[in-house]
Homo-oligomer: A and B are copies of this chain.
Amino acid sequence: MEEKDCVRLLEEHDIKPTANRIVVVRALCASMLPQSLAELEHKIATIDKSNIFRALTLFREHHLVHAIEGSSDGTRYELCHSHDKEHDDDQHPHFYCEVCQQTYCLDYAEMPDIQLPEGFKARSSNLMIKGTCPHCKK
């Protein structure tokens, strides 16, 4: 993604586009798969991990990225697909390969609608399917 597109994306989400934040957004775009903090830290050698973390936290608050949990190996982050800056409504299942530890985005699939007992109120959900991916299939 071009720098100017990153800037626009940040601004659309009311985030001041600092140099570091632009780099983080680019790194997220550049990789097809959701990234962990450690992976981003490795790919972006120029920025300290605490700042990558702070950028991601800020992005989450502004619904520019969302976090994916349940991979056994830390939280992963991906850009929100929807352009709704108010809600994180583009949740979808993910697939975690237990061999290569990659996380794939199953964004063609709908999240199931689970009926909750009286009094429970849902805000978000994470569906993580684990197994082996085509590359690691025996």
Give A residues with C-beta under 8 Å from B.
69-72, 93, 95, 98, 104, 106, 109, 112, 114-134, 137
This chain's copy number in the assembly: 2
Whether the pair B132, A123 counts as a contact (CB closer than 8 A) is yes
Contact of A119 among B124, B128, B133 (CB under 8 A): B133
Whether the pair A130, B120 counts as a contact (CB closer than 8 A) is no
Q: List 22 A-B contacts (CB under 8 A).
A: A69-B71, A70-B126, A70-B128, A95-B120, A95-B122, A104-B120, A106-B116, A112-B112, A114-B129, A116-B131, A117-B134, A118-B134, A119-B134, A120-B131, A120-B133, A121-B131, A121-B137, A122-B129, A125-B127, A125-B129, A126-B128, A126-B130
